[in-house]
Structures are given as C-alpha cells and as structure tokens.
C-alpha cells in the first residue's frame, strides 16, 4: 500500500494513465465479443472469458494463497463473484435481448451505485461535487450513445434489469476492494479472486456442448482465440490494473472508467470510417468534464 501511494505521489498522472488504459481495453472488448458470438452462445462466451483469466492468473495465485487467512479469502471470494463471475453472465444473457448501446448506458450507472453503496454501507463522505460529477458524466454518456443510436437505444425490456444488477455488483465490489482488501497488493487480489471463482466457470463450460462446438463448427478456433484474448486482456490484465487504480485513487474515480468506454467505442467506429460530428464531440467533452469533477471533488 505504501508503494502504491509513493508511486501516485511521484507521478500524479498515474491514475489518469491507468484509467485511460483500462478504458482502451474495456472499450475495445466488444470487437472480441462480437467475434466470439459467431460460434458460441453468450453464456459460453462468459465462461470461456472467466476460464481464460483463471488459467492465466493461476501460477500467480498458487504462490500467494498460502499466506492469506480466512477473512481475506472470504472477501476475495465475494469480490470474485461480484466483480467478475456474475457480471460476466449477466451481461452475456442481457445482450442477447438488448442492444449494446443500451447496455453501455446502463453500465454507466456503476459510478452512481459505487457512490451510493460507499455512503450507505461504508460511511464514505460524499460531497456535492462528487454527486455533480457523477451526474454530469452520466448525462454525457447517455447523450453520446443516443446521438449515435437514436432514441430507440433507450428502449429496453426486462433483460435490461440484468445489466442494472451487474452495475450494482460492480459498485459493491469496488467498495470491497477499497475498504476490505486495500491492504493487499493488486496482483494478490486479482489472482486469488480468480482462483476462487474460476473453477465454477470451467465446470459450467464443460457441462454444455462447448467441446462439440469447438470441434465441429467452422471458424470455432478463431472465435475461441478471440474470447481467450478477451479473457487475458479484458479480465486478467484489466483486473490487475483496475485494482491498482483503486489503490491509487478513489472508488468513484476508478469506476468512472465506464464513462470513457463509449468514447473508445466511438473511436473504433471512426477508425473504420464512421463520422464523428459536433454532438459526439460535445458528449465526449461533457464526459471528460464529469470525470475531472469527480477526481477533484473532496
């Protein structure tokens, strides 16, 4: 913890660098998910993603699990369930019935739930500036997505509630990492949490027709590779980076990564030839303003 604080003090831009890198990783994940869904159903995509992260972090976890007591392991298991396992499946099932634009809007509720849970359960102080920053960022995110997808992107169904539940779990997990597991290094929290929940994903994966799909469907290896890469980058690596960001900043600033993800998605669209207009630029500016307010609020 002292090392994280000293690094943050020496380089005050480090939290912003971590936030930007996480936004790039998570904002780009839709490309890999789209490729994976060409062969595998949504629940198997989620299970493959968690399983890949589990095996990637397994060597690190084995060397670290012996020195942790029951209390730490309890909170790490809860963190793994809330921050990785359940949201992966909730988002997978939800996006079989709702548009990714609506999922992106609802995902931006994470900072709000992070703030509310911190205030209610952990007695975290919340200034007016923090609430204003959350609302400004949320407004910018909604405006950005609606400008690209129209008002129909706000239309949802009961499956949208699955995404809301996932954001509540994300908000709770951010607070657990900050207030219950702050004394552990990011590599420990990431690897052990995945060690405790990964076997469930592996078991779930082989209970279905995963093996048959991989062996029989043309292009399955390519889709499997995309999902494995998703697990390695968007889950394993991103989990370590996110835990480090939480140690070096506030829970609210860390969770504001969900505001920046639509900007990255928009950037990918621009890369493939989509037009970015004045409204989209204004939406980006509003989002960045909201994140800045959150970071500076006391």
Q: Tens digit of pLDDT for each residue in 66-87? A: 889 899 999 999 999 999 999 9
Residue with tokens 């990255």: 264
Q: Tens digit of pLDDT for each residue in 84-136? A: 999 999 988 887 777 666 677 778 888 888 988 998 898 888 778 888 888 88
The conformation of residue 236, written as its DSSP 8-state character, comes to: I
Q: Supply the mean pLDDT for the chain.
A: 84
Cβ partners under 8 Å of residue 276, min gap 6: 266, 269, 270
CA distance to 51, 52, 53, 204, 290, per residue, from 46 (Å) = 9, 10, 11, 10, 31
Quote the tokens at residue 263: 């900007």
Whole-angstrom Cα distance, residue 19 to residue 77?
25
Q: Tens digit of pLDDT for each residue in 228-279? A: 999 999 999 999 999 999 988 888 889 889 888 877 877 776 676 656 667 7
With a cut of 60, say whether residue 208 has pLDDT above it. Answer: yes
Nearest to 163 by CA among 76, 64, 266, 93: 93
Q: What is the pTM for the complete model shown? A: 0.85
In b/e form, how buried is each residue of 50-59, taking b as 16+ CB within 10 angstroms? bbbbbbbbee
Selected residue with higher pLDDT from 21 and 259? 21
For the chain, the domains span 14-296
Residue with tokens 């290896």: 221
Q: Check residue 298 and give its pLDDT.
A: 59
**H or E element at residue 113:** helix 110-122
Whole-angstrom Cα distance, residue 88 to residue 163?
10
With a cut of 50, say whether residue 5 has pLDDT above it. Answer: no
């Amino acid at each position: 913890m002292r090392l994280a604080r000293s690094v943050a003090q020496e380089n005050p831009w480090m939290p912003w660098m971590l936030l930007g890198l996480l936004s790039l990783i998570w904002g780009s994940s839709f490309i890999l998910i789209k490729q994976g869904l060409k062969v595998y159903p949504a629940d198997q995509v989620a299970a493959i993603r968690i399983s890949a992260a589990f095996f990637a972090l397994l060597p690190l976890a084995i060397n670290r699990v012996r020195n942790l007591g029951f209390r730490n392991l309890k909170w790490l298991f809860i963190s793994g369930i809330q921050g990785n396992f359940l949201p992966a499946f909730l988002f997978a099932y939800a996006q079989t019935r709702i548009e990714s634009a609506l999922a992106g809007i609802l995902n931006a509720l994470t900072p709000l739930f992070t703030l509310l849970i911190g205030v209610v359960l952990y007695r975290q102080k919340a200034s007016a500036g923090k609430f204003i920053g959350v609302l400004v960022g949320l407004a910018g995110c909604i405006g950005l997505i609606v400008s690209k997808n129209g008002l129909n992107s706000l239309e949802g169904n009961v499956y949208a509630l699955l995404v809301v539940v996932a954001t509540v779990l994300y908000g709770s997990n951010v607070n657990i990492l900050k207030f219950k597991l702050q004394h552990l290094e990011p590599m420990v929290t990431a690897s052990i949490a995945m060690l405790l929940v990964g076997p469930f994903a592996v078991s779930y994966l082989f209970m279905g027709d995963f093996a048959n799909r991989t062996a029989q469907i043309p292009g399955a290896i390519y889709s499997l590779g995309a999902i494995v890469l998703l697990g390695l980058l968007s889950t394993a690596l991103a989990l370590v980076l996110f835990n480090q960001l939480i140690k070096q900043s506030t829970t609210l600033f860390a969770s504001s990564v969900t505001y920046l993800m639509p900007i990255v998605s928009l950037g990918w669209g621009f890369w493939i030839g989509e037009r970015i207009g004045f409204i989209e630029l204004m939406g980006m500016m509003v989002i960045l303003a909201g994140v800045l307010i959150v970071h500076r609020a006391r």
